[in-house]
A = this chain, B = another copy of it.
């Protein structure tokens, strides 16, 4: 694109992938802030610097756009948790390091954690989202299940801990932490909560350190 063609406030020279990335980023923010029903394709397109007509070249419906954001965000979370798992030896440290990395991810990508919270309540409420995201949703459960299963095999988790329930508890708690993000003033407060959860996982909450 020739420089002369640039106009202030209007993106030029954007490839399809760049536009798509901007759409995902804008959609993530608007869905997180307004919810699935209230966020409009027009707002999202405008924030990404395109017309709502062009948006349909990228995503054929609002549901498709939401699903694409969800897959993108879930991928980032899984990457944070699995890279942490690769770098630590014990189950509890793998989880804690994963939580630490999600905390950092939240700083890098504002709105990501809030989107997760929105998705948790919106997906079961909209058939067009649930049908698209049923399998994706299970990936996080499957990941934690493998992690805890290996930990239990190594003897780090008591055999009388019900793995299915334990995975549900961890997913529930991390979802709740995501949900709480909105009520917090800044990322430092969120990081403090995430650290509180790490203390809980390590069993340090109610056992005074000597």
Contacts and interface: CB of A to CB of B under 8 A. Distances in A.
Interface in A152-210: 155-162, 164-166, 168-169, 171-180, 182-184, 189, 192-193, 195-197, 199-209
Contact of A166 (B91, B196, B203): B196
A205 B203 CA distance: 8
Contact of A168 (B90, B121, B156, B180): B180
Interface residues of A, number: 57
A165 B189 CA distance: 8
Number of copies: 2
A49 interface: no
A101 B124 CA distance: 26
A75 B188 CA distance: 31
Contacts of A155: 208
Interface centre among A90, A162, A193, by most B CB within 10 Å? A193
B162 A192 contact: yes
A131 interface: no
Contact of A200 (B91, B124, B169, B180): B169
Contacts of A184: 168
A120 interface: yes
Interface in A109-133: 117-118, 120-121, 124-125
A156 B206 contact: yes
A54 interface: no
Contacts of A179: 120-121, 172, 175-176, 179
Given A161-B204, A203-B206, 6 more contacts: A117-B121, A157-B205, A161-B196, A169-B199, A172-B197, A173-B173
11 contacts: A37-B38, A91-B206, A117-B121, A121-B179, A156-B208, A159-B208, A162-B195, A169-B200, A172-B179, A173-B173, A203-B207
